[in-house]
Amino acid sequence: MDETSLDAARSGTFRIGGELAVNRLGYGAMRVTGAGFWGPPADRNEALRTLKRTIELGVNFIDTADSYGPDISESLIKEALHPYPQNLVVATKAGLTRQGPDVWLPVGRPEYLIQQAHKSLRHLGVEQIDVWQLHRIDPKVPANEQFDAIKSLIDAKLIRYAGLSEVSVADIEAASKFFNVATVQNRYNLVDRTSEAVLDYCDARQIGFIPWFPLAAGDLAKPGSLLDSIAHKNGATPSQIALRRKLIKFLGIYRAP
């Protein structure tokens, strides 16, 4: 492939909150951590190189979370890219805690969410987080209390825009009573359409929809697959075909589960 064609800007742009312009093809920084998304990466230099390479490829939207590592992904992003390019938007999340590799438990107590936002500010080296998302709505804590905590972060100008992850249309509508939901991050790919209604809802309201697991951790782009043959006939790659559907509608983020 011609190196000059590797430019995320060719995917088109979307304005988060109607203001932050990002290319629709972004980068999810979950897999720069260790095995099971726990601890530091096996090859730190390669992780840093990968993050720097995303910018060279025109990516100006990077998605991470305090729980990736935990704290490892955010710190690596700062080490690799700070001071950040003016057009780079870094989104992070809080609301999931880690007790070990591949272990994720929701914690949505307001004081915890606020604490984690402050930690992310330090780890990313910024005074305001561009986009901060509630990683999961904690079923053990009243949702309104979690949404109110997010509103307080916006009011304090610690975060610019707020979003949600793994939510229903009803969840978005409930949160919208407290703050403008700028982004929604749900699992969505060619073979998993359970969030179709959420995608359509977001599209109709100009809410950025960030699909995670868009390539099923690479399974949808394997050589020899049905997508491989379709891609060959169309002069494309399997990953391009996998991401093509409704690409004009959402931010396509290369993300892990």
Query: How confident is the model over 99-153, as pLDDT tens digits?
Result: 999 999 999 999 999 999 999 999 999 999 999 999 999 999 999 999 999 999 9
**3 state SS for 69-110:** ECCHHHHHHHHHHCCCCCCCEEEEEECEECCCCCCCEECCCH
Average pLDDT score, the chain: 87
Q: Which of 156, 199, 206, 158 is nearest to 181 (CA)?
A: 206
119 SS3 class: helix
Contact by Cβ (8 Å): 122, 116: no
The catalytic site residues sit at: 68
Point out the least confidently predicted range of 7-21, 67-81, 213-227, 236-250: 236-250
SS3 192: strand
| Cα(175)–Cα(154) distance, integer angstroms | 13
Structural domains of the chain in order of their starting residue, each with its CATH number: 3-254 (3.20.20.100)
Contact 241, 233 (CB under 8 A): no
Question: Distance between CA 62 and CA 60 in Å, rounded?
Answer: 7
**Identity at 156, one-letter amino acid code:** A
Q: What is the pLDDT of residue 194?
A: 77
Band of residue 88 on the pLDDT scale cut at 50, 70, 90 = very high
Strand partners, 163: 133, 183
Whole-angstrom distance, CA of residue 165 vs CA of residue 139: 14
Show Cβ contacts of residue 193 under 8 Å, excluding neighbours closer than 6 positions: none
Largest CA distance in the chain: 54
Q: Is the pLDDT of residue 255 over 50?
A: no
Residue 114: its H or E element:
helix 110-124
- Kindly give the pairing relationship between strand 61-63 and strand 25-28: parallel
Laid out side by side, the sheet with 89-94 consists of 208-212, 181-187, 159-165, 129-134, 89-94, 61-63, 25-28, 252-254
